[in-house]
Amino acid sequence: MESVKIVLLALLAAVCYGVLHDQVTVRVCVEYFTVGHPPVFAANDPTLLALGWGAVAAWWVGGLLGVPLALCARLGSRPKLTAGQLLVPIGVQLAAVAAFALAAGIAGYAAAKMGAVVLIGEWAARVPRERHVVFIADLWAHGAAYASAAITGLAVCGQTWARRGRLARERTG
C-alpha cells in the first residue's frame, strides 16, 4: 500500500508543479497554449488553460517517475522508506525543475530577442509575429521542465536507493 502512496504522491506533485508552472507560462504567452497545443479545452481564459494543461501535461510524468521511485523506496530487504520520507526530496526536485525552467525560459527569450532562434513552419505562420519571442521563451521553459524532471527524477531515485543502503549499514553497525 505504501508503494501506491508513493506513486500517488509523485502524481500529485507533478500535477501541482504543472499547474503552477503553466499559471506562469500562460501569462508570458497564451498563444503557447491556444496555438501551440491542440484545442482540448473549450476555454481561452489563461487560468483555466493553465489548470487544464498543467494537469494533462504533467500527470504522466509523475507516473513515470513515481513507479521507479516506489521501487527504489520499497523493493528488497533494505529498510523501506515511506511516502512521507520522500516529501523533502520531491520538493527539492521540483524546486530544481522550476529553476531550470526559469533559466531556460530566460535564455530562450534572450536568444529569440537577438534573432539567434526563430519560429518556423506552422507555428511561425499561426503565432502573431510580435508574440514569437515570448512563444519561444515558453517553449524553452517547458522543454527544460520536462528534461530536468527526467534527470532530477532519476537522481531522486538514486538518492532514495542510496539512503536505504545507509540506513541498512547503520542498523547492522
In the chain, where the domains are located: 2-172
Indicate the pTM of the whole model.
Answer: 0.94
The helix/strand/coil state of 47 is helix
Please report the pLDDT score of residue 78 as a whole number.
Answer: 97
Please report the pLDDT score of residue 46 as a whole number.
Answer: 96
Please report the pLDDT score of residue 94 as a whole number.
Answer: 98
Per-residue pLDDT of the chain (173 residues; tens, 9 = 90+): 999 999 999 999 999 999 999 999 999 999 999 999 988 878 889 999 999 999 999 999 999 999 999 999 999 999 999 999 999 999 999 999 999 999 999 999 999 999 999 999 999 999 999 999 999 999 999 999 999 999 999 999 999 999 999 999 999 87
Please report the pLDDT score of residue 39 as a whole number.
Answer: 85
Nearest-5° angle of CA 118, CA 124, CA 126? Answer: 155
